[in-house]
């Protein structure tokens, strides 16, 4: 069974950098697929932050510009998120998730099939 678990600080000061780690068990990151982050502000919908392939190839949401950096550590079976210049607007629950791609018959898909439980992050002084 694939399991993901986020870890990191629950409170970040404005202008500081958020660092989160997602630990994966039940599947080796180096075997493939994309590993990413999605966030949800309190009472609001879901926002895709980006993801990273096991090779290190990254995809980021342009709305976050150069604030986002993701990396993967296959030796620890972990991947991480760094988000700089945090503001109150970045207050959210941050989820890590696996994204798989494939095709079944005529239907092509790319979807987040396994998620961590989420970690709340508050930006406040």
Partner 1 sequence: DIQLTQSPSSLSASVGDRVTITCRTSQSIGTYLNWYQQKPGKAPKLLICGTSILQSGVPSRFSGSGSGTDFTLIISSLQPEDFATYYCQQSYNSLPLTFGGGTKVEI
53 binds partner 1 (CB under 8 A): no
The encoded tokens of residue 54 equal: 């096991």
Binder to partner 1 among 46, 55, 57, 82 (CB under 8 A)? 46
CB atoms within 10 A of CB 58: 16
Binding flag, residue 106, partner 1 (CB under 8 A): yes
Q: Is 104 in the site for partner 1 (CB under 8 A)?
A: yes
Task: Write out the two tokens for 75.
Answer: 């030796």
Task: Name the burial class of residue 118, with classes exposed (0-12), middle (13-18) and buried (19+) by CB atoms within 10 angstroms of its CB.
Answer: middle
Judged by the rule CB under 8 A, the positions of this chain that interact with partner 1 are: 45-48, 50, 59-63, 95, 97, 99, 102-104, 106-113, 115-118
């Amino acid at each position: 069974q694939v399991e993901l678990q986020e870890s990191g600080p629950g409170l970040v000061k404005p202008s500081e950098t958020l660092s989160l780690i997602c630990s994966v068990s039940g599947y080796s990151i180096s075997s493939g697929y994309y590993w990413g982050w999605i966030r949800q502000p309190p009472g609001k919908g879901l926002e895709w932050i980006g993801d990273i392939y096991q090779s290190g190839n990254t995809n980021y949401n342009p709305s976050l510009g150069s604030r986002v950096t993701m990396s993967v550590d296959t030796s620890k079976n972990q991947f991480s998120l760094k988000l700089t210049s945090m503001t109150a607007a970045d207050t959210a629950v941050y989820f890590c998730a696996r994204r798989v791609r494939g095709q079944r018959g005529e239907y092509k898909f790319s979807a987040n099939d396994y998620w961590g439980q989420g970690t709340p992050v508050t930006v406040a002084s």
